[in-house]
Structure 1
């Protein structure tokens, strides 16, 4: 249990350091952090309890809210049917 919490703390420190970097460096490192957050939350859920994992998910969503909203917006635009010239 202590290792998962220690890695979660290190993830938060890494995310804070990445936030101080220029935007061109933030993007690739931010994607790495977001991908690793999924594995870390799963690890926390297995080693602790679901409430800790839920708090970790809330923290990740809070930190990555703008990129996640942008991704959702782009996904909606891509999946929307073409309304020009198609059948009603």
Structure 2
């Protein structure tokens, strides 16, 4: 198994552990995982091509859809949006 896939597996385990934390303790590890993910996905894409990179990207977008929606809205000048407000 390549270094990229080993790091990807470790990232998934870290994300699962972070998800089990109480919400107030999820922010720091969650932001760290959010920042590290694109670098890891690029590393996987580089070593294994689009066949492995695209599912990794889609999984990332699925897992972080609410934070990504929030950051996208803030970048475009929309009022504050929170996941509690609904889809």
TM-score by length of 2: 0.82
Q: Which runs of 4+ in 1 moved over 2 A?
A: none
Specify the structure having the higher radius of gyration (Cα): 1
In 1, the alpha carbon distance for the partners of 2:18 and 2:76 equals 28
TM-score by length of 1: 0.81
Q: How many residues align?
A: 78
Segments of 5+ residues of structure 1 without an aligned counterpart are 79-88
Segments of 5+ residues of structure 2 without an aligned counterpart are 79-87
Number of the residue aligned with 1:2: 2
Higher relative contact order (CA 8 A, sep 6+): 1
